[in-house]
A and B are shown apart, each in its own frame.
Chain A
Amino acid sequence: MRIVIAEDNVLLREGLVLLLTSDGHDVVAVVGSGPDVLPALLEHRPDAAVLDVRLPPGFRDEGLRAAILAREALPGLPVLVLSQYVEETYAAELLAGGAQGVGYLLKDRVSRVEEFLDALRRVGAGGTALDPEVVSQLMTARHDPLQALTPREREVLGLMAQGLDNTTIATTLVIAERSVSKHIGAVFAKLGLPPTDSGHRRVLAVLAYLNS
């Protein structure tokens, strides 16, 4: 994939470049400050962008704003937003412009190289990757239909919200894949979402619940 990186910390920036090129990606631009992000994205139109939320000169949420603006200009542009801390509100803002190709992870997750690269691939392919911590924040917040779910169903829904597929969910929870489908069916029913076999529908269903 052709990738644009926005990160102000030199060490982390170089680490990301090294990591992504070694995985066979092509880093087409690296920027280190907020105002440069949007022009770089519009110029290179990458297959995916890896953006830090907090960038100079303001050190606020420049990266997040750039991501939202870029996705307004280039709908569906895959962005993976990284941050030292995660906020449910930021996730909601990112997802408001459509769920496809959105990732929002804690920076810590880059240390799990395989999982990180996997999340990036998923985002690049139009999927989602939400940090478990965001998902748990969303789970504790007010979402009344969730009260009807069993603990296991909540667990499955949480993993779905992170963007995992049935096989991975089954391995993570050490249960049969068939049970996973059964749980997901129950979740869809309880949340009032008609089950379909499309992967995107599945993501949208999760987001419908996240944004409820």
Chain B
Amino acid sequence: MNKALRRSADATSHLLAGLRTSVPAMLGLVPLAGVLVLLVIALPWLPAAVKPLRALANAERRRAGRLLGREIPVPYRPLPGDGLERGGMLVRSPVVWRDVAWMVAHGLTGLLAAVLAVSLWPAIPYTLSLPLWWWAVPEGSQSAFVTLDSWPKALTLPFVQGALYVFILLWLVPRFARWQARLAEALLRPTSRTSLVERVEQLAETRAEALEAHGAELRRIERDLHDGTQAQLVAVALRLGLADRRFDTDPEAARALFLDARNGVEEVLTQLRTVIRGIYPPILSDRGLAGALRALAAGQPIPIETDFDEGRAPAAVEAAAYFVVAEALTNIAKHSGATHASVTVRRQGPHLRIIVRDDGEGGADPGRGSGLAGIRRRVAALDGTTRIDSPDGEGTTLEVDLPCGS
């Protein structure tokens, strides 16, 4: 009992003594909470704050690149989403932190280095001329390592100091300039890791879009088959059943029903052709992309110049390319007022590059026409890029790059 009381008393005094650390810890919570709140508030503003940093880093990339004689690539990628989302992505992005690290290093050393390098130039004639006039000025206003107060010092030390300055200027300053540029390059160029991280994020994004697009496509096909084809076939079966019942009693009516059923089947077949074309245009599997596009171009109301590679790409890429060109040509025929157009499809390294040009009115707005938006979506779903250049009155150029996975 005694022992137990003793133990409790000890524990109580320990906890009491703990106030010495726990009270400051509690007080520390206040600034911590403040910092956290500030961070959350600051997050949406981060993109705005990063912008000048990036402009600064870009200027340094160009400057350092000129000295090194090689371009320092820019590692930034466009950011998706709204302010908060972008802020979150920026905080996680190693590219941002490398920019910040460069800013700290350059901020601490850059000014000092520039001032020192510039002041070396006047310092050399100053030092070397000291023996001529050191005696004429008040004591203490000149020095070479130490204050000059005798001829022996005045005739030796300035030359030693001058030699050191010359050495620094000739040997160290050029090297420092290179080190500075190399440091900038090392921190500001895309590293395999930073570009990989950004790439993974971008891929995750496009993959989500691809899944979404794929899902929407499946739902559309399902709807077409369910509401169109299937319903129509049920109606046909019903007519055939009725015809069967009437066959003996009223052959004429039965015959009419048979003919109805046949018409129904013909309609179903037409619908099915449309659905199939939407899934994968049959001519693509027959003739490949080049053949299918030539057929497409031949069916246009205006002359289309074509230039295609004959090689094959993955089916999904060919289907997307076909869709892009078909959609673009439809747009040209409907809206552009063009009298001539050209379609180029070329394999460029790992990409399939599609260029569709016309000499129409231009001014195509991807925000408005659903055609261009559809092209964008379909291309993005395959991790490709779309560029539209459509100045008023100067025709439209659509450029699409689709990765082929090899």
Contacts and interface: CB of A to CB of B under 8 A. Distances in A.
Interface of A: 53-54, 59-61, 84-85, 87-89, 92, 106-108, 111-112, 137, 140-142
Interface string B266-305: 1001100100110000110111000100110011111100
A140 B266 contact: no
Q: Size band of the B side of the interface?
A: 20 to 34
B35 to A, nearest CB: 66
Contacts of A111: 262, 265-266
Contacts of B283: 85, 87, 89
A141 B265 contact: no
Given A53-B286, A54-B286, A85-B273, 6 more contacts: A59-B285, A84-B276, A85-B276, A85-B277, A107-B269, A111-B266
B295 A141 contact: no
A112 B168 CA distance: 99
B295 A140 contact: no
A90 B295 CA distance: 9
A142 B333 CA distance: 11
17 contacts: A53-B286, A61-B286, A84-B273, A84-B276, A85-B273, A85-B283, A87-B295, A88-B295, A89-B287, A89-B295, A108-B270, A111-B265, A112-B262, A137-B299, A140-B301, A141-B299, A141-B300
A60 B284 CA distance: 9
Nearest to A137: B299
Interface of B: 262, 265-266, 269-270, 273, 276-277, 282-283, 285-287, 291, 294-295, 298-303
Nearest to B285: A60
Overall SS of chain B's interface: helix
A60 B282 CA distance: 9
A193 to B, nearest CB: 22
A61 B286 CA distance: 6
Contacts of A112: 262
A162 B114 CA distance: 86
Contact of B301 (A59, A61, A106, A142): A142
Nearest to A86: B273
B293 to A, nearest CB: 11
A15 to B, nearest CB: 13
Nearest to B269: A108
A121 B277 CA distance: 31
B287 A61 contact: yes
A59 B285 CA distance: 8
A111 B266 CA distance: 8
Contacts of A89: 283, 287, 291, 294-295, 298
A92 B287 CA distance: 15
Contacts of A53: 286
Nearest to B299: A141
Contacts of A141: 298-301
A85 B273 CA distance: 7
Contacts of A59: 285
Contacts of B291: 89
B286 to A, nearest CB: 4
Most chain-A CB neighbours within 10 Å: which of B269, B286, B299, B302?
A: B286
